[in-house]
């Protein structure tokens, strides 16, 4: 993947933002985020990796860095005005970072205004690649940053609970993406009903949502189909120990295509 990224070297306004997420904690998101950032930097690409795990920031430790004086907390609480002032160098050439939030319980719940400001300032950071190390789970905060990125990468372990949570994350991120699209505001209630834990409508997948919309509004269903086809998340399976573990990624790709109607690109395994 780093080799492909190398071909995208160019002006800073063509920067790429990649987000690493997953439905379960402990699946190696920070390891994969830091490894990916290191690989890009090693190829001569100016890279910034950002720890967006508000509840358990540890990216600086993975990179072998002491906690810096300025971090994401300082930007979120207003003591630092510009996010760029929180960027610090690492011991690796071409690689900089923004450390995550300090132990401040208030930081785990940020306002919509702060979230939008953070998104805007991430877009304006001067780098060729920006890697977002997201927190676990399917909070609106996590899903919006995952969908904000040009490329979203889901991390999973070859074990049932992690696989189940990865499916849940994929489904939630897709619905979150739809809710934010202006053309689908007329079916927002339907989307939110599908996202609800009670799910009284029995909509289990984007494909079933498409079928329901097609029944109500065929023209809008055509737009929804385009949105499904435009959603191309990636997958990395971590902690593989056998060919069976490796094949989990191919199985997930097949299941997601069959039941969700979504193309899941299996990037590889660790």
pLDDT tens-digit map of 25-42: 889 999 999 999 999 999
Q: Which CATH number goes with the domain that contains 65?
A: 3.40.50.300
HSE, side-chain direction, 13 A CA sphere, residue 16:
20
In this prediction the pTM is 0.89
Regarding whether 140 and 168 lie in a shared domain, the answer is: no
Residue range of the domain that includes 201: 158-270
Regarding whether 128 and 166 lie in a shared domain, the answer is: no
Regarding whether 121 and 151 lie in a shared domain, the answer is: yes
| Of the residues 156, 177, 207, the one at which a domain ends | 156
- Give the phi and the psi of residue 237 in degrees, each rounded to 5: -100, 125
| Of the residues 114, 132, 156, the one at which a domain ends | 156
Per-residue pLDDT of the chain (270 residues; tens, 9 = 90+): 554 554 445 555 589 999 999 888 889 999 999 999 999 999 999 999 999 988 777 898 999 988 888 999 899 988 999 999 999 999 999 999 999 877 655 666 788 899 999 999 999 999 999 999 998 888 888 999 999 999 999 999 999 999 999 999 998 999 899 888 999 999 888 888 887 777 777 887 888 888 889 998 999 999 998 888 889 999 999 999 999 999 999 999 999 998 888 899 999 999
Instruction: State the total domains in the chain.
Output: 2
Regarding whether 263 and 247 lie in a shared domain, the answer is: yes
Regarding whether 180 and 139 lie in a shared domain, the answer is: no
């Amino acid at each position: 993947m780093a080799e492909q990224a190398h071909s995208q070297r160019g002006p800073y306004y063509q920067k790429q933002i990649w987000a690493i997420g997953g439905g379960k904690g402990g699946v190696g998101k920070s390891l994969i985020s830091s490894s990916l950032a290191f690989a890009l930097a090693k190829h001569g690409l100016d890279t910034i990796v950002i720890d967006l795990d508000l509840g358990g920031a540890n990216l600086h430790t993975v990179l072998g860095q002491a906690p810096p004086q300025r971090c994401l907390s300082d930007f979120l609480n207003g003591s630092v005005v510009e996010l760029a002032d929180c960027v610090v160098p690492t011991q690796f050439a071409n690689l900089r970072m923004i450390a995550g939030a300090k132990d401040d319980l208030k930081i785990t719940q940020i306002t919509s205004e702060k979230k939008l400001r953070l998104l805007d300032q991430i877009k304006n950071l001067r780098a060729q690649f920006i890697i977002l190390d997201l927190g676990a789970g399917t909070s609106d905060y996590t899903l919006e940053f995952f969908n904000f990125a040009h490329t979203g990468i889901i991390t999973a372990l070859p074990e049932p609970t992690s696989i189940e949570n990865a499916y849940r994350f994929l489904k939630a991120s897709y619905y979150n993406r739809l809710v934010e699209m202006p053309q689908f505001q007329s079916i927002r209630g339907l989307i939110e009903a599908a996202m609800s834990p009670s799910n009284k409508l029995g909509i289990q997948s984007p494909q079933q949502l498409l079928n329901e919309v097609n029944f109500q509004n065929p023209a809008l269903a055509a737009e929804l189909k385009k949105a499904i086809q435009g959603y191309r998340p990636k997958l990395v399976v971590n902690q593989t120990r056998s060919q069976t573990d490796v094949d989990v990624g191919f199985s997930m790709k097949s299941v997601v295509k069959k039941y969700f109607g979504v193309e899941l690109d299996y990037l590889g395994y660790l």
